Structure 1
Amino acid sequence: MSRGCRRGLVGPLGCHREGFREDLRRLGYSRSGEKRQLQLLASLSRWLEAECLSLAAVASPRVESFFVARRAAGYVNLRTDRSLAPLLGYLRRIGVLEKVERTRPVGPNEELLDRFRRYLMIERGLVEGTARFYIHVAGLFVAERDGGNGATFVDLKAADVTRFVTEVCDGRGLSSARQAISALRSFLRFLHLEGLTSVALDDAVLSVAGSSSSPPRPVSPEVVARLVASCDRRSVMGRRDYAILMLLVRLGLRGGEVAGLGLDDFDWRAGVVVVRGKGRRRDRLPLPADVGQAVAAYLWCGRPRVEDRRLFLRCCAPIRGLAGSGAVGAVVARACRAAGVPFVSPHRLRHTLATEMLGAGASLSEIGQVLRHRHTSTTAIYAAVDHTRLATLARPWPGGEQ
């Protein structure tokens, strides 16, 4: 029977207790949180010993048996395998467990979709959320082509593509249908690149007719002011949230772009910030003085001193960079509740900046440069909200004023 390095702690995890304790403190866990995690480690180590399992079992499906027994015993905390995230992260960082980013595909369809995912992320440079939706649509198409032994595309015809387009767009709104069409075109191009189809059938995908039913909906300046003022800048979280809101309001960044900012993206002497946008774009934007002051205040009096080089960090353990656009959306939602206003998405703040620029006399091309649009047609949607300029284009009503 193996024993831990600490007296009274048996099992293969015994030797890692003290190192794990230090890692928890580095990640900002409170003493009570640290205690619970160490108790979980001790219980898990004893279970591994009793079941004659190696340490590698903690990262395998077999560990679910441990949590089934834990729930049956009446534990109210750390009852699922999600509670192992701090321990698994530590064991992988020190090289005890292999760094496994994702489960390996289990069949031909899963293998195909996994290759498509790598194509989207590496070759196309799509962000995680967009790639996830594309894979979802591709998965529906693959499932339709699966005859039981994996999907085949040798006999794929334009009529098959048209039928699937009709099915996948049924019940979707205009925007969602267009996204599904883009996903299918991308998958069909990928199939041709892989040699799975004899001809490229992406041109066989019909476009979705129609136009957006409503123009962008900006937020009033009063609401924006209330959102920004709702942050309690006496607290660490308030200073962080204030800096995030200033980046959204003044620079029109997307939520994912804010979450992706790093400490090395700011050139304080030149007064610019590097933003990583869609399609691996890297743009240098001027940093307004008030935005720079908000970020600097968070850096000097709020941001924890950790190894993570991302700018914005969680305020509770484990202290690490914000997860993505969803975390930024949660910051805006919290500000909405504090300000007593209906929910506003980060993207509506982007629309608000464009609308304010338009009202101040900026041209559509100038707005496109600030928002970093690749196509002028994307910026053209803001023409619909400029009623003053549109009025100059209106023709007189036949027969007199109406």
Structure 2
Amino acid sequence: MPLDEPIILGIMAPLFQDVPEEASCFQLGDEEMSGTRRKPGAMAPYIAGLDSKLTAAGYTPGTRRGMLKIVGDVGRWLVVEQLSAADFDESRIPAFMEARATAGFTQKYYLRCFTVMIGLLREGGIVAPAPVAPVSALERVLADYRQWLVDEKDLADTTVLRYEKLARRFLQIGRPEGKLLDTATLSGVEVSAFILAESRRVSLGSARGRVAEMRSLLCYLYITERTSWDLTRCVPSVAGWRDAHLPVVLSVEQVEAMVASCDGSTSTGRRDLAILLLLARLGLRCIEVARLRLDDIDWRVGEITVRGKARRRDVMPLPVDVGQALANYLQQDRPASPCREVFITERAPRKPIRADLVGDVVRRAGRRAHCPEGRAHRLRHALATNMLAHGTPLRDISQVLRHRDLATTAIYAKVDIGSLREIAQDWPGQN
């Protein structure tokens, strides 16, 4: 259930009745409250602070009422059990829920309902910090590897997760759950056998990804002296012709239909329009849209700084329609947030959007425009092919797409069938 929807189901009584008289900061209009006001017991001193925290995080009034209802229930239970707020942590949640069920209450609680409340008590030093579980040798290596991918390689969160999954599988080969492979005795035979096994169960493209992930892990193990020699060359390459397939290309009409499908009368539609135009006009990647910060937009000069792969910073011109869409979103719809990222989640807790949300925006636009092929990276392909069709040199296209290698851009030459026919030589023996 989304966090900004009511958390407790079936609450028909006045939800505000658990808030004490002194918690006047929680006012939700001029609704009159009937019935006897029940006191929140041991949690009374923390009602106002919790409400302020929920408000700052952007939670809706319904969610705030539901959370304060839980606080009151917990406070009264603590009084019955002769406990204080300092005694309530994650270990007490099952006993609280069991007591409520035994007493005949049918309200359904979710464990995440208690997260904000316990977090507030910990911030104030009321509840002791959560005990730190012992970290295994495997988890220590994975944590260090994860940090290395972020600090040294500047990889996106989704990429780091994918690399970490392969590392976890490989480092546990032939070991019980949670035990670490002895990397000091690691050999190329084990590396090759693992990659061959992985390649048998995945597609060609995924197998190539496994090779890149494996080489990254072996590089990390070597430079951190967990292996005595560099085993990256022991990873076999995946057989397959380079650029053997044509990229799926969206037409100009399809791209414009996806852009036009955004409802400019709603906040979500204006946000989606800004995201789609960044992808379609500038060829940004999903992670680059998610990373875009307020400081990256120079409104006076009309430029935008793109935070790309490997910590690259590229300055690009800001097209008029993209700038107008961004300005509309920032002025009318962006939720108040201390974060400097441009795009903030619409649902509480307010935080910067993730790269996968950008992909979701494009897929929804594709469905609205009856374009099932609509994907975020295909908007980037569409920009390149459209530039090529208008005679733009590949080198210029490479600069717009911020490719490191011109060979990466050369793939788009294959889709220009008309130009290829002009330069193609006759087949030997053909009249």
TM-score over 0.5 for the alignment?
A: yes
Counterpart residue number, 1:75: 107
Counterpart residue number, 1:286: 317
> Does 2:391 correspond to 1:361?
yes
Q: Quote the offset at 1:374 in angstroms.
A: 1.7
Counterpart residue number, 1:141: 170
Aligned partners of 2:83, 2:341: CA distance in 1, in Å? Answer: 41
Q: Quote the offset at 1:392 in angstroms.
A: 3.0
> Which amino acid is 1:359 matched to?
A
Q: Quote the offset at 1:255 in angstroms.
A: 1.2
Structure 1 alignment gaps of length 5 or more: none
Aligned partners of 1:141, 1:208: CA distance in 2, in Å? Answer: 18
Q: Quote the offset at 1:71 in angstroms.
A: 7.8
> Does 2:19 correspond to 1:17?
no
The CA RMSD over aligned residues, in Å, is: 3.0
Question: In structure 1, which of residues 307, 311, 314 is the aligned counterpart of residue 342 of structure 2?
Answer: 311
Which runs of structure 2 are paired with 1:31-42 in the superposition (5 Å)?
31-42=61-72
> Does 2:287 correspond to 1:253?
no
Q: Taking structure 1 as reference, are residues 161 and 258 closer, same or farther at Cα in structure 2, changes over 3 Å only?
A: same
Counterpart residue number, 2:268: 237
Q: Quote the offset at 1:142 in angstroms.
A: 0.7
> Does 2:185 correspond to 1:155?
yes
Which runs of structure 2 are paired with 1:36-75 in the superposition (5 Å)?
36-47=66-77, 50=81, 52=83, 55=86, 58=89, 60=90, 63=93, 66=96, 73-75=105-107
Which runs of structure 2 are paired with 1:53-202 in the superposition (5 Å)?
55=86, 58=89, 60=90, 63=93, 66=96, 73-76=105-108, 79-87=109-117, 106-146=135-175, 150-202=180-232
Q: Taking structure 1 as reference, are residues 156 and 26 closer, same or farther at Cα in structure 2, changes over 3 Å only?
A: closer
Aligned partners of 1:366, 1:318: CA distance in 2, in Å? Answer: 42
Counterpart residue number, 2:248: 217
Counterpart residue number, 1:262: 293
The alignment's TM-score, normalised by the length of structure 1, stands at 0.87
Q: Taking structure 1 as reference, are residues 230 and 159 closer, same or farther at Cα in structure 2, changes over 3 Å only?
A: same
Per-residue CA deviation, residues 40-92 of structure 1 (Å, 9 max, x unaligned), is 2223444566384765854x46645555766884324xx32233455466567
Aligned partners of 2:250, 2:127: CA distance in 1, in Å? Answer: 49
Q: Quote the offset at 1:222 in angstroms.
A: 1.6
Q: Taking structure 1 as reference, are residues 40 and 126 closer, same or farther at Cα in structure 2, changes over 3 Å only?
A: same
The alignment's TM-score, normalised by the length of structure 2, stands at 0.82
Question: In structure 1, which of residues 227, 231, 236 is the aligned counterpart of residue 258 of structure 2?
Answer: 227
Which runs of structure 2 are paired with 1:366-381 in the superposition (5 Å)?
366-381=396-411
Q: Quote the offset at 1:93 in angstroms.
A: 6.8
Checking the alignment, whether the CA contact within 8 Å between 2:88 and 2:127 is kept in structure 1 is no
Per-residue CA deviation, residues 230-257 of structure 1 (Å, 9 max, x unaligned), is 1111221111111111111101111121
Aligned partners of 2:114, 2:200: CA distance in 1, in Å? Answer: 41
Counterpart residue number, 1:351: 381
Checking the alignment, whether the CA contact within 8 Å between 1:218 and 1:348 is kept in structure 2 is yes
Per-residue CA deviation, residues 154-182 of structure 1 (Å, 9 max, x unaligned), is 22211121111111211211221111111
> Which amino acid is 1:108 matched to?
A
> Which amino acid is 1:143 matched to?
Q
Checking the alignment, whether the CA contact within 8 Å between 2:366 and 2:375 is kept in structure 1 is no
Q: Taking structure 1 as reference, are residues 145 and 157 closer, same or farther at Cα in structure 2, changes over 3 Å only?
A: same
Aligned partners of 2:300, 2:66: CA distance in 1, in Å? Answer: 45
Moved more, 180-189 or 383-392: 383-392
Q: Quote the offset at 1:36 in angstroms.
A: 0.8
Checking the alignment, whether the CA contact within 8 Å between 1:240 and 1:298 is kept in structure 2 is yes
Aligned partners of 1:224, 1:93: CA distance in 2, in Å? Answer: 48
Moved more, 208-217 or 64-73: 64-73
Aligned partners of 1:70, 1:392: CA distance in 2, in Å? Answer: 79
The structure with the largest alpha-carbon Rg is 2
